[in-house]
Structure 1
Amino acid sequence: MSLAVLNPVFGLRSVSRLQRIRAHMMSSTVSSEVLLEKVGNAGVITLNRPKALNALTLSMIRMLHPQLKKWENDSETDLVIIKGAGGKAFCAGGDIRAIAEAGKAGGSLVHDLFREEYMLNYAIGTYRKPYVALIDGITMGGGVGLSVHGRFRVATEKTLFAMPETAIGLFPDVGGGYFLPRLQGKLGLFLALTGFRLKGRDVQRSGVATHFVQSEKLSALEKDLTGLKSPSTSDVAAVLDSYQEQSTLDAEKPFVLQQHTDAINRLFEGSSVEEILEKLQKEQSDFAKKQVETLSKMSPTSLKLTFRQLQTGGGLSLQEVLVMEYRLSQACMRGHDFYEGVRAVLIDKDQSPKWKPATLAEVSAQSVEESFASLGDKDLKL
Structure 2
Amino acid sequence: MDREVQVWREGRAGRIRLNRPKAFNALNLDMVKTIRAALEDFGADPAVHVILVDTLERWFCSGGDVRMLHAGAVAGDASIAESFFGQEYAMNQAIADLRKPYIAIINGLCMGGGVGISAHGSHRIATENALLAMPETGIALFPDVGASYVLPRMPGALGMYLGLTGARVHGADAVHAGFATHYVPSGRIPELCDAIVRDGAAAVAEYAAPLPPFTLAAERELIDRAFSQDSVSAIVAALEADGSAFAKAALAQLRAHSPSSIHWSFEIIRRGAAQDLRGCLAAEYHLVCQVAMSAEFIEGVRALLVDKDKSPKWQPPLIEDVDPARIAALFAHKPG
Q: TM-score when scaled to structure 2?
A: 0.96
In structure 1, what is the Cα distance between the partners aligned to 2:100 and 2:163?
29
Partner SS, residue 334 of structure 1: coil
Residue equivalent to 1:255 = 214
**Which of 95, 100, 125 is the equivalent residue of 1:124?**
95
Instruction: State the one-letter code of the partner of 2:54.
Output: K
**Which of 160, 163, 168 is the equivalent residue of 2:131?**
160
Say whether residues 1:372 and 2:331 are aligned partners: yes
Residue equivalent to 1:60 = 31
In structure 2, what is the Cα distance between the partners aligned to 1:327 and 1:41?
38
Instruction: State the one-letter code of the partner of 1:239.
Output: A
Say whether residues 1:200 and 2:171 are aligned partners: yes
| Runs of 4+ off more than 3 Å | 373-376
In structure 2, what is the Cα distance between the partners aligned to 1:243 and 1:133?
14
**Which of 209, 215, 221 is the equivalent residue of 2:192?**
221
Residue equivalent to 2:304 = 345
1:48-197 alignment, distance < 5 Å: 48-86=19-57, 88-107=58-77, 108-197=79-168
| Mapped contact 2:4–2:19 kept (Cα < 8 A) | yes
In structure 1, what is the Cα distance between the partners aligned to 2:65 and 2:86?
14
Task: After TM superposition, give the deviation of residue 102 of structure 1 in Å.
Answer: 1.2
Task: After TM superposition, give the deviation of residue 269 of structure 1 in Å.
Answer: 2.0
In structure 2, what is the Cα distance between the partners aligned to 1:341 and 1:356?
11
| Mapped contact 2:76–2:293 kept (Cα < 8 A) | no
Partner SS, residue 145 of structure 2: coil
In structure 2, what is the Cα distance between the partners aligned to 1:140 and 1:214?
20
**Which of 305, 330, 355 is the equivalent residue of 2:264?**
305
Instruction: State the one-letter code of the partner of 2:233.
Output: E
In structure 2, what is the Cα distance between the partners aligned to 1:59 and 1:137?
23
CA RMSD in angstroms comes to 1.4
Instruction: State the one-letter code of the partner of 1:337.
Output: E
In structure 2, what is the Cα distance between the partners aligned to 1:187 and 1:371?
25
Task: After TM superposition, give the deviation of residue 41 of structure 1 in Å.
Answer: 2.0
Question: What do the CA deviations read for 1:136-188 (whole angstroms, capped 9, x no partner)?
Answer: 10000000000000110000011000101101101010011000000000000
Task: After TM superposition, give the deviation of residue 208 of structure 1 in Å.
Answer: 1.1
Say whether residues 1:44 and 2:3 are aligned partners: no
In structure 1, what is the Cα distance between the partners aligned to 2:312 and 2:137?
12
Identity among equivalent positions (%) equals 40
In structure 1, what is the Cα distance between the partners aligned to 2:227 and 2:40?
40
In structure 2, what is the Cα distance between the partners aligned to 1:155 and 1:373?
38
1:203-282 alignment, distance < 5 Å: 203-228=174-199, 231=200, 236=201, 238-245=202-209, 251-252=211-212, 254-282=213-241
Instruction: State the one-letter code of the partner of 1:365.
Output: P
Structure scoring higher RCO (CA < 8 A, sep ≥ 6) equals: 2
Choose 1 or 2 for highest CA Rg. Answer: 1
In structure 2, what is the Cα distance between the partners aligned to 1:360 and 1:140?
24
| Mapped contact 2:255–2:319 kept (Cα < 8 A) | no
In structure 2, what is the Cα distance between the partners aligned to 1:279 and 1:40?
54
Instruction: State the one-letter code of the partner of 2:68.
Output: A
Instruction: State the one-letter code of the partner of 1:96.
Output: V
User: 46-55 or 351-360, which moves further after superposition?
Assistant: 351-360
Count of residues in correspondence between the two structures: 335
Partner SS, residue 110 of structure 1: helix
Partner SS, residue 173 of structure 2: helix
> Is there any run of 5+ residues in structure 1 with no aligned partner, and where?
1-23
| Mapped contact 2:73–2:294 kept (Cα < 8 A) | no
In structure 2, what is the Cα distance between the partners aligned to 1:218 and 1:329?
36
Residue equivalent to 2:251 = 292
In structure 2, what is the Cα distance between the partners aligned to 1:375 and 1:208?
28
Partner SS, residue 292 of structure 2: helix
Q: TM-score when scaled to structure 1?
A: 0.85
> Is there any run of 5+ residues in structure 2 with no aligned partner, and where?
none
Instruction: State the one-letter code of the partner of 1:242.
Output: E
**Which of 262, 269, 294 is the equivalent residue of 1:335?**
294
| Mapped contact 1:49–1:85 kept (Cα < 8 A) | no
Task: After TM superposition, give the deviation of residue 298 of structure 1 in Å.
Answer: 1.0
